[in-house]
C-alpha cells in the first residue's frame, strides 16, 4: 500500500527564516502530489499541487515544492516565513488515475515573531 | 459559492452510543469523502461516495458506515462508539474525477467519554 512520510513532526522557526518540509512516498508509478495547510481553527486548504510538467511547482502565499522522481520526494519550501505561516502542513500523494490521496501525518510549524 | 458544510461542529458521546455526522458538499460536486484526523496520525481515509454509491473504502471496521443522498449530501454513522473514536472527522467534496481537487469542510469534533 502507498505510504507517505513527513519526517519533521514539529518545526519551530523565527520570522524570516527559510523553511523546508520533507515529504517522501513509496509508490513507484505515476503520482499526483499535494501540499495542504490547516491554519489554527480553519479548514484544510490546498497550497499547491503537481500533476505533470515542470517539477518545480509554485503555490499560494509564496510556497513552492519540487518533485524529485528519483528520490520519491516532494519537499515544500518557502524562502522567508512569516508569523502567519504558523499552521499544520500535510503532504498527500495520489496514484495516477485514482480518486483518493494518501496523507502524511502532518508537520506542525510554529513561527515566532 | 458556498463551501463544504458539516454538522454538527462538536459532539460529545459516551462509549457504546452511536452517532451520525452530516456533510453538505459544494453545489455541483458529486463526490464526498470522509477522513478521520487525530494528532500524530494525520488524515486517515474512511470512504468515498460518488453518485450515491460507495466508490472507495479505507481500512476501518464495519462500525463506520456512510451513505450519500441524491442531492449529494452525505452522512457518516459510527455505531458502538469507543474511546479511540474521538477525533476530528473531515468531509471533502470534489467534482469526482481523478484530477479534481478536494475541498474540505471545517470538520466535526467528536469526543467519546
**Band of residue A108 on the pLDDT scale cut at 50, 70, 90:** very high
For residues A93 and A73, what is the distance between their CA atoms, to the nearest angstrom? 10
Average pLDDT over residues A26-33: 90
- CB-closest option in A94, A101, A105 to B41: A105
Q: Alpha-carbon distance B33 to A100, whole Å?
A: 8
Kindly state whether A90 is in contact with chain B, defined as any CB-CB distance less than 8 angstroms.
yes
Please, what is the average pLDDT of chain A? 94
A46 in contact with chain B, both atoms CB, cutoff 8 A = yes
Chain B interface test: which of A100, A104, A108 (most B C-beta within 10 Å)? A100
| Bridge partner residues of B75 (DSSP) | B22, B67
- For residue A98, list chain B residues with Cβ-Cβ distance below 8 A: 98
Distance from CA of B23 to the nearest CA of A (A): 14
Tell me, yes or no, if A50 comes closer than 8 A to chain B by beta carbon.
Answer: no
pLDDT tens figures, A38-70: 999 899 999 999 999 999 999 999 999 999 999
Would you state the pLDDT for residue A16?
97
- Give the model's pLDDT for residue A96: 82
Q: Would the CB atoms of A9 and B40 count as touching at under 8 Å?
A: yes
pLDDT at B43: 93
CA distance B47 to chain A (A): 9
Confidence at A99, pLDDT banded by 50, 70, 90? confident
C-alpha cell at position B17: 452510543
Number of A/B CB contacts below 8 angstroms equals 52
Q: If residue A92 lies in a helix (H) or strand (E), which one and from where to where?
A: strand A87-95
Q: Which residue of A lies nearest to B6 if distances are taken between CA atoms?
A: A43
Q: Are B4 and B23 in contact (CB under 8 A)?
A: yes
List of chain B residues whose C-beta atoms are within 8 Å of the C-beta of residue A105: 40-42
Question: How large is the average pLDDT for residues A23-47?
Answer: 93
**Residue B1's pLDDT is what?**
66
Mapped onto helix, strand or coil, the DSSP state of residue B77 is strand
Shortest Cα–Cα distance, A89 to chain B (Å): 10
Backbone torsions φ then ψ of B83, nearest 5 degrees: -55, -35
Q: Which of A18, A17, A38, A13 is nearest to A92 (CA)?
A: A38
Burial of A47-74, coded b for 16+ CB within 10 Å and e otherwise, reads bbbbeeeeeebebeeebbbbbeeeebbb
Closest residue by Cα to residue A108 from A33, A39, A34: A39
Minimal Cα–Cα distance from A70 to chain B, Å? 23
DSSP letter (8 states) at residue A36: E
For each of chain B's 113 residues, which pLDDT tens digit applies? 689 999 999 999 999 999 999 999 999 999 999 999 998 788 999 999 999 999 999 999 999 999 999 999 999 999 999 999 999 999 999 998 888 889 999 999 999 99
DSSP classification of residue A84: G
**So what's the pLDDT on residue A1?**
65
Taking 70 as the threshold, does the pLDDT of residue A81 lie above it? Answer: yes
Per CB-CB distance under 8 Å, the chain A contacts of B33 are 100
pLDDT of B69 reads: 97
d(CA A47, CA B55): 26
Amino acid at each position: 500500500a502507498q505510504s507517505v512520510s513527513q519526517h519533521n513532526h514539529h518545526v519551530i522557526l523565527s520570522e524570516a527564516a527559510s523553511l523546508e518540509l520533507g515529504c517522501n512516498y513509496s509508490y513507484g508509478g505515476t503520482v499526483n502530489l499535494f501540499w495542504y495547510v490547516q491554519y489554527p481553527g480553519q479548514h484544510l486548504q490546498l497550497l499547491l499541487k503537481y500533476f505533470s510538467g515542470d517539477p518545480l511547482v509554485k503555490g499560494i502565499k509564496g510556497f513552492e515544492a519540487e518533485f524529485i522522481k528519483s528520490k520519491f520526494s516532494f519537499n515544500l519550501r518557502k524562502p522567508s516565513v512569516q508569523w502567519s505561516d504558523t499552521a499544520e502542513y500535510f503532504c498527500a500523494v495520489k496514484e495516477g488515475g485514482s480518486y483518493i490521496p494518501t496523507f502524511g501525518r502532518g508537520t506542525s510549524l510554529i513561527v515566532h515573531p | 459559492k458556498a463551501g463544504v458544510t458539516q454538522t454538527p461542529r462538536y459532539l460529545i458521546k459516551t462509549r457504546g452510543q452511536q452517532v451520525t455526522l452530516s456533510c453538505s458538499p459544494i453545489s455541483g460536486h458529486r463526490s464526498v469523502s470522509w477522513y478521520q484526523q487525530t494528532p500524530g496520525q494525520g488524515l486517515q481515509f474512511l470512504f468515498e461516495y460518488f453518485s450515491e454509491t460507495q466508490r472507495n473504502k479505507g481500512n476501518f471496521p464495519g462500525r463506520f458506515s456512510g451513505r450519500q443522498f441524491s442531492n449529494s449530501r452525505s452522512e457518516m454513522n459510527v455505531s458502538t462508539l469507543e474511546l479511540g473514536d474521538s477525533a476530528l472527522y473531515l468531509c471533502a467534496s470534489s467534482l469526482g474525477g481523478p484530477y479534481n481537487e478536494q475541498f474540505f469542510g471545517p470538520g466535526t469534533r467528536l469526543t467519546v467519554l
